[in-house]
Each structure stands twice: as C-alpha cells, then as structure tokens.
Amino acid sequence: MSKIFATLLFGTLILGACSTGVASPQAVPASTTEGAIALPTTAVPNPKLILTVGTPHIDQPADPAADEVTPISPTPLICGFQWANKDLPELSSSFQRSIQALQPEAQASAFAFGENCIGWDGSIVSFSAMETNFDIYLQVDDLANESVLGKWIVQVMEVIENIPAEQIAGPRLGRVSIVFQSSTAQSVINFDIAQYKELPPNFNYAEIYEALKALQ
C-alpha cells in the first residue's frame, strides 16, 4: 500500500513540474491606429521616355572628338560631253568602193557624229554616236549643169540607202556633203538625208538639185 502511494505522489510531482514550464498565452496589444491608412486611388501615369541630345555633364569635360566635322570629299564628275566625229573605217571602205563603181576617180568616206565622254583627267571615256554622215568628192565637166549634178545626187543616195542598217551608227538620219569638182572650180552641196526623203517623188534631176541647194 505504501508503494502505491509513493508512486502516485511521484507522478503528481512530475505533472506539476511540467505544467509550470508551459508559457501562458499573452494578449496581443491593440493597434494604436484606429483605422487602416487609405491608399490613393488616382492612377499614376506611366513614365515617359524622353530622348535628349547627348551633351557632356556640367562637371564632365567635353569630348573634343564630338565637335570634329569630317569633310566630305566632292565626287568627281564621271565625264563631260563634247561634240565629236569618229571614223568608220569599214563602212568608209565599202562606201568608197560603191561610189568608185560609179566614178573610179571619186573619193568617199563615212563617219559618225556624236558626243565624246571626257573624263575628269581629260581622257576620252567613251563615244556615243548620234548619226552617220557621208562625204563625197566627184569630178564633173560643167558645174552649171544642174541636171547632171542632180543625177549624181540621186545615184549617191541610192548607194547610201542600200547600206545595211546594222552598219549605220546612231539613231537618227545623218547628212550628206557632195563636192563637185571641175578643172577650174568646185561647188559644194550639203543636205540632210531626211530632207532628201521629203522631196516630191516626181521631181526631175534639176529640181532635186535646186531644192536641196535652196535648203543650205
């Protein structure tokens, strides 16, 4: 019996010691603020990004390289244009043979008229043909015989009109210069090929000569 009593007494002492070690809950002090702080309801605008010209800060030295201006070298002209003639050796050779078939002592040549492209250093860069011109020298007995002179004009033009188009330089019709030479004098007639083509088809030789001579 005494053992049971001792056991119970020991257990009671243990329980009492445990209960004194547990911290009792403490009341949380009430907030000194009577109500919650109201946050502003006005919408804050989104920040804007402002780009400014970069300038050195007042306490920073300016960058001398930023003020330097690099000069732009002027681009030289590719070329300047100048009126010019250009020999056409192959066409001249065949043209002279055709004219000399009409008169063996005759002389004839062809050349292109157009523009030279002159480079900045004075050299010829290129040539652009505008037309093909013809020079003819014929021997005649009488410079006053307009019918004979007109017939020569027609014969020369027949040769020119039979030249293949691929042998003619330039996009437009050229000019013809015929020098009639006698034993004592000479007479020159110059005309555009377009002018010859515009003559009435019923003109006789003398009228052809007179019409072209009047256009000079």
Residues 6+ apart with CB under 8 A from 40: none
Complete domains list, the chain, with CATH:
88-112+132-214 (3.30.70)
Position 122 scores a pLDDT of: 83
| pLDDT tens track for 151-185 | 999 999 999 999 999 999 999 999 999 999 999 99
Q: Are strands 124-139 and 175-181 parallel, antiparallel or unpaired?
A: parallel
Position 133 scores a pLDDT of: 98
Position 119 scores a pLDDT of: 86
What is the C-alpha separation between 89 and 110, in angstroms, rounded?
8
What is the C-alpha separation between 52 and 65, in angstroms, rounded?
19
Of the pLDDT bands very low, low, confident and very high (cuts 50, 70, 90), residue 63 is low
| Residue reference for tokens 């005759």 | 106
| pLDDT tens track for 112-148 | 999 999 888 888 888 899 999 999 999 999 999 999 9
What is the C-alpha separation between 128 and 54, in angstroms, rounded?
53
Answer whether 0.75 is exceeded by the pTM. Answer: no
129: closest CA among 92, 84, 183?
A: 84
Of the pLDDT bands very low, low, confident and very high (cuts 50, 70, 90), residue 82 is confident
